[in-house]
A and B are shown apart, each in its own frame.
Chain A
């Protein structure tokens, strides 16, 4: 399969890229990892007249933490970079557990987190992760930079609020105020398939008390769903069995699943409840063991 014809530009600077996009108007598309855009173009679901390939822009392949703990992921940071990242393993449990679950290992070598956010697929994993973490994107256009919270960024399936001449240069995760915990669970029929159900959990705790929580759902609605009522139910509480069950019920209620070839609506809703429970149990401080561990075994 071939894409339809397009003009191709590979600018060497961000200003040049923005200027090309400005002139290209609605018919221009930014190419980063291309793991969604190129298939869409081959299937002729997308036929942009101008492709602005940003892969040659210098200095966008980073992911790093500011001194205050703010995490920044550049537009050319690949999923594989995040999967191997010691920084994420140490400080961003939700992101670290999501990175190895994106697509498949070969696709992860090309695809980017920022591109995935911009693509705004309702079944995109990173959007849920960033939503749960209260993340944002930084978009640069001819008039300068603006920061857009992820919750306001996506307006519908494959739609975001970017102007045609804006490029998202990085995604940002704010610093944790407490101890950060969480994870991402994804049910997929096989590696590389879109999520049947995905759940992102990001909590910050102080002692036993949850100080901030975010829960977001993948694949169970027309766009990424923030399960805000469920997250609110956790804030200010210790993660007791009752609280966990309550939050899991609220998250299942927030899901808007449809029956399709990946499963029935009922099954998907059930899996949301199961995943939220599982993630919260993983995060909850474990009770001290009732009996001493068996001799010879590490505690």
Chain B
């Protein structure tokens, strides 16, 4: 995989130290050569072209850039890309299959959990971690789990409903 760097003009060509890392993204194995200061969010968006992961505040507040690393949600703007060497990353692109939406995505559609949609991928990745750990969350559990993700449109009510909708659907599916 090729990563294109911004030419910031402060180092001669070839002087940029890069490290080779191997990792998986949504189940696919990848190799990348990255400069240590490259952020995980930039690797995902620019390097891998997975632009479903959004960058909002870039200051560890908004959670729009949330992805899962080894199953735990993290803010990808606050982790170095070199740190995912040997690890598994899941992004919002990994939720749906070719033919079917993930119940979380369906839930956001059914319950009008998004307006502008910018925060939605981060919300879903944080919510997925909650539902993986707790399939039957209360409304309070959902609000707590999403308290690191900011939404400027919805007032959160429908986001909470969407996650509860998804939880119910996942439980029904599990019950067969």
Chain A residues with CB under 8 Å of chain B are 1-8, 10, 31, 34-35, 38-39, 41-43, 51, 53, 55, 80, 103-107, 109-110, 191-192
Within the complex, what minimum Cβ distance (angstroms) separates A28 from chain B? 13
Separation of A114 and B160 alpha carbons in the complex (Å): 33
List residues of chain A with CB within 8 A of the CB of B17: 5, 7-8
Within the complex, what minimum Cβ distance (angstroms) separates A64 from chain B? 21
Within the complex, what minimum Cβ distance (angstroms) separates B137 from chain A? 13
Given contacts A39-B60, A191-B147, contact A106 B73 (CB under 8 A): yes
Flag the segment in B43-51, B78-86, B91-99 that touches A. B78-86
Within the complex, what minimum Cβ distance (angstroms) separates A17 from chain B? 15
Contact indicator A38/B79 (Cβ below 8 Å): yes
Given contacts A8-B80, A39-B60, A55-B83, contact A109 B74 (CB under 8 A): yes
List residues of chain B with CB within 8 A of the CB of A42: 39, 58-59, 77
Q: For B62, give the chain A residue with the smallest CB separation.
A: A192
Residues 60-78 of chain B, each 1 if its beta carbon lies under 8 Å from chain A, else 0: 1101001000001111011
**Given A2-B38, A8-B17, A10-B83: 8 more A-B contacts, CB < 8 Å:** A1-B58, A5-B10, A7-B17, A8-B80, A38-B80, A39-B60, A106-B66, A110-B78
Q: For A105, give the chain B residue with the smallest CB separation.
A: B148
Within the complex, what minimum Cβ distance (angstroms) separates A10 from chain B? 7
Interface SS of A by simple majority: loop
Given contacts A105-B144, A105-B145, A105-B148, contact A8 B36 (CB under 8 A): yes
Contact indicator A107/B75 (Cβ below 8 Å): yes
Chain B residues with CB under 8 Å of chain A are 6, 10-11, 16-17, 19, 35-39, 58-61, 63, 66, 72-75, 77-80, 82-83, 85, 126, 144-149
Contact indicator B80/A106 (Cβ below 8 Å): no
B72, B78, B80, B144: the one contacting A39 at CB < 8 Å is B78
Contact indicator B37/A5 (Cβ below 8 Å): yes
Separation of A4 and B6 alpha carbons in the complex (Å): 13
Within the complex, what minimum Cβ distance (angstroms) separates A47 from chain B? 10
B35, B61, B126: the one contacting A192 at CB < 8 Å is B61
22 A–B contact pairs at CB < 8 A?
Answer: A2-B6, A2-B37, A4-B37, A5-B36, A6-B36, A6-B37, A7-B17, A8-B82, A42-B39, A42-B77, A43-B59, A51-B80, A53-B80, A53-B82, A104-B63, A104-B148, A105-B73, A105-B145, A107-B60, A109-B74, A110-B75, A192-B148
List residues of chain A with CB within 8 A of the CB of B144: 105
A3, A10, A53, A110: the one contacting B37 at CB < 8 Å is A3
List residues of chain B with CB within 8 A of the CB of A105: 73, 126, 144-148
A1, A53, A107, A109: the one contacting B83 at CB < 8 Å is A53
Separation of A229 and B36 alpha carbons in the complex (Å): 48
List residues of chain A with CB within 8 A of the CB of B85: 10
List residues of chain A with CB within 8 A of the CB of B58: 1, 42
List residues of chain B with CB within 8 A of the CB of A6: 36-37
List residues of chain A with CB within 8 A of the CB of B148: 103-107, 191-192
Separation of A134 and B171 alpha carbons in the complex (Å): 46
List residues of chain B with CB within 8 A of the CB of A103: 148
Within the complex, what minimum Cβ distance (angstroms) separates A84 from chain B? 9
Separation of A41 and B60 alpha carbons in the complex (Å): 12
Separation of A110 and B84 alpha carbons in the complex (Å): 13
Separation of A8 and B82 alpha carbons in the complex (Å): 9
List residues of chain A with CB within 8 A of the CB of B61: 192
Within the complex, what minimum Cβ distance (angstroms) separates B34 from chain A? 10
Given contacts A10-B85, A106-B149, A191-B147, contact A39 B79 (CB under 8 A): no
Q: Which of B58, B72, B78 has the most CB of A within 10 A?
A: B78
Separation of A39 and B41 alpha carbons in the complex (Å): 13
Within the complex, what minimum Cβ distance (angstroms) separates A76 from chain B? 13
Within the complex, what minimum Cβ distance (angstroms) separates A3 from chain B? 5
B36, B72, B77, B83: the one contacting A7 at CB < 8 Å is B36
Separation of A192 and B58 alpha carbons in the complex (Å): 14
